């Protein structure tokens, strides 16, 4: 079904097509006023942004005949619609002869986002030099993005990242206090005594999480609880 037929169908359901007599007595709502209302509505949603959005509108069918609204037109975002990418914006008239219509638009929002400045292998702990800002179209970044480098610095990449790729929040993870292969201090408590020894963590661990450690002295593998300052506590 063509675009024009689609719009005619929408109007026939929402408000009914106006009679040709409306055109004769000058009571037709100018389509330009509807399109302008849509444009102003979208701009208002992004008024706090430094760079305004780019808005491409699909023209309304010039054959449409709507009764001139006796009240101020009201633009709205339909349920389930979004204000970025390909979307629809509604305009309603609440006057004596009410009607509603929807216009298809494409909204592009640009911002400076963080991308990889070089090829990053899986497991790289990100530093400031691994990042750079680039202007990108946010409407196509469906996996997310970061605009602040401090939200990424110190985190570890979950997978290899090519130079120039946008780094999404899902592409990184927090570096745990204890990392696999890292030297830790084993704190062994037995019978009121506390013995410390050096060990190697056999997996990553968050604070309070159980982790297996190979004792460097005895070569035995023990399990303890990850604690602050690269310590693993065994026993009570």
Summarised one tens digit per residue, pLDDT across range 122-159 is 999 999 999 999 999 998 998 999 999 999 999 999 99
pLDDT at 163 over 50: yes
Which residues, in sequence order, are CB contacts of 146 under 8 Å at separation 6+? 113, 114, 152, 167, 168, 169
Q: Where do we find the tokens 């709502």?
A: 29
Q: Where do we find the tokens 């024009």?
A: 4
What distance in Å separates the CA atoms of residue 200 and residue 111, rounded to the nearest whole number? 44
Q: What is the mean pLDDT of the chain?
A: 87
What distance in Å separates the CA atoms of residue 155 and residue 176, rounded to the nearest whole number? 9
What distance in Å separates the CA atoms of residue 87 and residue 42, rounded to the nearest whole number? 11
Summarised one tens digit per residue, pLDDT across range 26-66 is 589 999 999 999 999 999 999 998 889 999 999 999 999 99
pLDDT of residue 236: 61
Higher per-residue pLDDT: 150 or 13: 150
**Averaged pLDDT for residues 190-215:** 90
């Amino acid at each position: 079904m063509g675009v024009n037929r689609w719009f005619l169908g929408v109007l026939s359901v929402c408000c009914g097509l106006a009679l040709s007599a409306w055109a004769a007595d000058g009571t037709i709502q100018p389509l330009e006023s509807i399109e302008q209302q849509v444009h102003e509505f979208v701009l208002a949603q992004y008024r706090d942004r430094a760079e305004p959005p780019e808005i491409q509108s699909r023209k309304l069918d010039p054959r449409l005949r709507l009764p001139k609204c006796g009240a101020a037109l009201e633009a709205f975002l339909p349920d389930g619609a979004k204000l970025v990418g390909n979307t629809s914006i509604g305009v309603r008239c609440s006057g004596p002869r009410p009607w509603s219509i929807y216009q298809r638009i494409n909204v592009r929002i640009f911002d400076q986002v963080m991308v990889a400045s070089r090829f990053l292998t899986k497991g790289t702990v990100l530093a400031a030099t691994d990042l750079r800002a680039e202007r990108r179209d946010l409407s196509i970044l469906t996996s997310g993005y970061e605009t602040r480098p401090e939200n990424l610095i110190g985190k570890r990449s979950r997978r290899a990242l090519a130079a120039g790729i946008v780094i999404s929040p899902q592409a990184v993870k927090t570096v745990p206090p204890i990392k696999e292969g890292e030297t830790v201090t084993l704190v062994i408590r037995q019978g009121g005594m506390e013995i410390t020894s050096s060990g190697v963590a056999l997996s990553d661990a968050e604070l309070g999480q159980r982790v297996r450690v190979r004792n460097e002295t005895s070569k035995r593998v023990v399990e303890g609880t990850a604690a602050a300052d690269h310590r693993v506590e065994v026993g009570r």
